[in-house]
Amino acid sequence: MSYGRGATLLSALIGVTGLLTYGFHSLVAHALGRDKYGVIAVLWAAAFLIASVIYRPVEQLLSRTIAEREARDASIGSALRVAATIQLALVALFIAIALPLRSTVEDQLFSNNSTLYWCLVAAVVFYAASYFARGFLAGERRFGLYGGLVLMESASRVVFGVLLAVGLINGPNAAGVAIAAAPLLSLIVVPFALGRHVRRASARGDRSTAADPEFTLSRGLGFASAVLVIMVSEQAILNSGVLIVKADTGSDSLAALIFAVLMIARAPLQLFQAVSTTLLPHLTRLIVTEQGDAHRGDFGRSVRITVLACLGFGGATVIGVLAVGPAAMRLLFGSDFNYDRGGLAMVAAGTGLYLAATTLNQAVLAQGRARIASASWAVSAAFFVAFLLIANIAQVREVEIAFLATAALLAILMYAAYRRPVVSAEPRIEPGSPEEVEAVLAAADEGS
């Protein structure tokens, strides 16, 4: 599937997913009220912070590596094995850390609610297979199936939200079970969805030659470790505000306010996931095939168009929240959720810059500069957290200011990384060509 068609299809599916996510939170907020909804906001933030941080690196690793190796007609079997090994190790590491910290997590985050703790553990474990599947499907450009998996997850949460709203189930625990069960329900279709495609990809990989070395664990760990830093930084920017304020004030109500205002950024980011998911394998293939100045060819053109679209979206969102932002927040989350237009506009402007920075991040990853990208994210996240810890203004306002300033800083750093001169990709060796014969002979000499 082409980049344009894939992005369009996945955008439509994830757009529906975003609406369903909004619907779930709206239903839960109305059913539970601001105070009880606060602890669900904390559970949501914690679950997605952990899952995104520890599993997105494997998703990105699979997406880029499969795209690169297929562009070179190389086998993807070693990439799948390395990614699976890393993913299983991450699950084991999470469990080994989460169990000893049970009492602390229950007390500090969930007000001694053990059910919500186990919902957190279950959700994070179930997401391991989901993110692995997403990475494989993105690299293979199976974007319809990718969107279907994500859509099923969100739809199952909404079912729980409706049951909660009509009173068939009650209390925060029911909403917590919805968050934990959703990735499990989407996981049911993963073996059936992936089996045929994995076998087909493996058969296609039989065409690889001695010129294409096996993808090693050390190489996979290097890329995944850099992306892990990116994921930690991203979640620190998007979700740590809720957790920092909760820990600082102990107020579920204030945490709910901050969580809701940052939904202005999260919702477009969830929709942009479609573009981001299709962009990385697309740009990686261009890097392999163009072999020229990546800033001027189709690679650079794709990046420029996407960045301008992100900035335009941010501008339109600013106009929208200035016009109807406060009323829309009350409609979505209830009459207790009050915000001023200026603060909402700052978050909206930051969203446009953040989306542009995310686009540039995918370009830098496609260029093979994961370490430079991770350093840019780490600096930006450190700035965001330091601002929240040092600033002495109203908590909601300081989060709004910090988000806008951090998004601007990140966009500048990522643009500087993207514009660095690019070393041309390795020339592609055509099967049966004299170059392939020379590569085979060279490999045989090295082996002897």
Cα dist from 432 to 72, 371, 419, 438, 439, whole Å: 14, 36, 36, 10, 11
- Round to whole Å and give the CA distance between 143 and 277: 9
What is d(CA 191, CA 133) in angstroms, rounded to the nearest whole number? 9
What's the predicted TM-score (pTM) here?
Answer: 0.74
Q: How far apart are CA 271 and CA 17, in angstroms?
A: 8
**CA-based angle 327:330:331, to the nearest 5?**
85
Residue boundaries of the structural domains of the chain: 3-421
pLDDT for residue 7: 66
The set of residues, in sequence order, having a beta carbon less than 8 Å from that of 325 and lying 6+ positions away, is: 339, 341, 344, 345, 348
264: Cβ contacts below 8 Å, ≥ 6 apart: 317, 321, 344, 347, 348, 351
What does the pLDDT look like over 333-346, one tens digit per residue? Answer: 776 676 778 888 88
Count the Cβ atoms, other than its own, within 10 Å of residue 199: 10
Angle of helix 252-290 versus helix 341-366 axis, rounded to 10: 30
Question: How far apart are alpha carbons 367 and 280 in whole angstroms?
Answer: 10
Of all residues in the chain, what percent carry a pLDDT higher than 90?
21
The pLDDT score that the predictor gives to residue 284 is 86
Residues 2-54 pLDDT 10s: 566 766 777 778 778 878 888 888 888 888 877 778 788 888 878 887 888 89
Mean pLDDT of the chain: 80
Q: Tell me what the mean pLDDT of segment 156-160 comes to.
A: 87
**pLDDT at residue 264 tops 80:** no
The one-letter code for the residue type at 33 is G
pLDDT at res. 122 = 92
Q: Which of 62-71, 90-99, 423-432 has the highest mean pLDDT?
A: 90-99
For 110-148, give the secondary structure using H, E and C. HCCCHHHHHHHHHHHHHHHHHHHHHHHHHHCCCHHHHHH
| DSSP for 228-280, written as a single string | HHHHHHHHHHHHHHHHHHHHHH--HHHHHHHHHHHHHHHHHHHHHHHHHHHHH
Give residue-wise pLDDT tens across range 195-244: 555 555 555 545 444 445 566 787 788 888 999 999 889 878 887 787 78
Determine the Cα–Cα distance for residues 78 and 56; give it in Å rounded to an integer: 19
For residue 337, which of 18, 30, 2 has the smallest C-alpha distance?
30
pLDDT for position 441: 46
Is pLDDT above 70 for 291? no
What distance in Å separates the CA atoms of residue 203 and residue 16, rounded to the nearest whole number?
34
Closest CA to 257 of 173, 322, 347, 382: 347
Q: Report the alpha-carbon distance of residue 150 to residue 19 in Å, rounded.
A: 12
Q: Is residue 428 classed exposed, middle or buried when 0-12, 13-18 and 19+ CB atoms within 10 A define those classes?
A: middle
* Structural contact between residues 215 and 82, judged by C-beta atoms closer than 8 angstroms: yes
The letter for the amino acid at 116 is L
Structure confidence at residue 428 (pLDDT): 46
Using the CB atoms, write b or e for 361-396: b if 16+ within 10 Å: bbbbbbbbbbebbbbbbbebbebbbebbeeeeeebb
Q: Is 19 helix (H, G, I), strand (E, B) or coil?
A: helix
Q: What is the pLDDT of residue 203?
A: 53
